[in-house]
Amino acid sequence: MALSPADVRAAFPDARGYVAACTAGIPTRATRAAVRADLDALPDPVRYAAVAERCRTSFARLVGVAPESVALGAQTSAMVSLLAASLPDGAVVLCPDGEFSSLVLPFVHAGRGITVRTVPLEALAASIEPGDTMVAFSIVQSATGAVADADAIVAAARAHGVRTLCDATQAVGWMPVAAGAFDALVCHAYKWLCAPRGVAFLTVTEDFAASILPRQAGWYAGTDPWASCYGGDAALAASARRFDVSPAWQAFVGAEPALALFADADPAALRDEVTALAAALRSRLGLPQPIRATPIVTWRDENGADIARLREAGVVASSRAGNARVALHVFNDLRDVDDIARTLGR
């Protein structure tokens, strides 16, 4: 049986006052214990490789694909750069206005005549044209928390023969995400999945993978990494593992229990739990409810006054693009809603 939100919450220490999962999640007790135990153990690459493979399997379960479709990385920007380098000369990439830079800059600076055009998020599906090569978007926008209409975007892209790239960094861990709906999906695990920084994933369909050159191949991309340590004649993995980079050992050690926890959880129940908290906060602050529910609450705060007041009161939130930004995750509860509203005089 899937873990309930209460079960998942029990894995965390009391996090009252921390409402910034969209910046970085907090470690579970098991993650803290795993990292401490690893520091007391002798380094063992074989053990680390087994940890990394379990992380791959947990992430595959989280997003509903086979482990063979998942590549391991350290940053989403590096994975996006791999995809950008494999687009044809003169490709056109469509992105939302104000998209997170790590998803846009690899295409902007790819050279070879590749261009990026942007439109408002809500117009993304309707703006896809036959001449576009790829549409790249975050399913949950970093600056505002807005949730994209992924179904409409994917349907429009397929109708025009356009590839889809989804950044799910602000989504996986609180909402159901089906990676198989997209040609490629990238996700860094240090936010809503509460893993250490340095653990990221790429999922790619077999059809799309055939067009991608393993430009960052190293020993870990080999069919047998332990037989691929030397020379240039190593056979690369036939699966998405050929796009792996060597895992950051300690980061994956800490990520393993966190990824397993969220893979065992009920994603729909998590979504309902955290979006209800966000809805309660919007009601207290007199903010409108979004078209599609999101646990990220934002409002204009260009001079940072509200964020400063929250921090003075011991509430850790964030500020992005002139917005005050609050993220309510499974380790938060109505005490956080009350603390924020009371601090802001609502």
- Compute how many other C-beta atoms are within 10 angstroms of the C-beta atom of residue 171: 25
Note the pLDDT of residue 8. 98
172 and 321 share a domain?
A: no
Non-local (6+) Cβ contacts of 10 within 8 A are none
137 and 282 share a domain?
A: no
Instruction: Report pLDDT digits (tens) over 175-217.
Output: 999 999 999 999 999 999 999 999 999 999 999 999 999 999 9
Sheet holding 323-327, edge to edge: 296-300, 323-327, 318-320
9 and 70 share a domain?
A: no
Instruction: Report pLDDT digits (tens) over 20-76.
Output: 999 999 999 999 999 999 999 999 999 999 999 999 999 999 999 999 999 999 999
Residue ending a domain, among 263, 291, 320, is: 263
* Burial letters 99-123, b for 16+ CB under 10 A, else e: bbebbbbbbeebeeebebeebebee
255 and 279 share a domain?
A: no
Note the pLDDT of residue 137. 98
Indicate the SS3 state at residue 21: coil
Note the pLDDT of residue 233. 86
234 and 140 share a domain?
A: yes
The predicted model scores a pTM of 0.95
Query: Which amino acid type is present at position 48?
Result: Y
162 and 241 share a domain?
A: yes
Note the pLDDT of residue 10. 98
173 and 306 share a domain?
A: no
208 and 330 share a domain?
A: no
Note the pLDDT of residue 345. 87
Residue ending a domain, among 205, 230, 263, is: 263
- What's the number of domains the chain is made of? 2
Q: Residue 200: which domain range?
A: 33-263
Mean pLDDT calculated for residue range 143-149: 97
Note the pLDDT of residue 167. 98
* Burial letters 30-57, b for 16+ CB under 10 A, else e: bbeebbeebeeeeeeeeebbebbbbbbb
Please name the residue that has the structure tokens 């899937």: 2
CATH number of the domain to which 160 belongs: 3.40.640.10
User: Does 346 score more than 80 pLDDT?
Assistant: no
243 and 166 share a domain?
A: yes
Mean confidence (pLDDT) of the chain:
96
306 and 244 share a domain?
A: no
Note the pLDDT of residue 88. 96
Note the pLDDT of residue 1. 85
Angle subtended at Cα 254 by Cα 253 and Cα 255, rounded to the nearest 5 degrees: 95
Please name the residue that has the structure tokens 């204009």: 300
87 and 63 share a domain?
A: yes
Instruction: Report pLDDT digits (tens) over 61-101.
Output: 999 999 999 999 999 999 999 999 999 999 999 999 999 99
Note the pLDDT of residue 17. 96
Using only C-alpha atoms, the chain has a radius of gyration, in whole angstroms, of 20
Instruction: Report pLDDT digits (tens) over 274-323.
Output: 999 999 999 999 999 999 999 999 999 999 999 999 999 999 999 998 99
Residue ending a domain, among 263, 278, 299, is: 263
- Three-state SS string across 29-96, please? HHHHHHHHHHHHCCCCHHHHHHHHHHHHHHHHHHHCCCHHHEEEECCHHHHHHHHHHCCCCCCEEEEE
105 and 132 share a domain?
A: yes
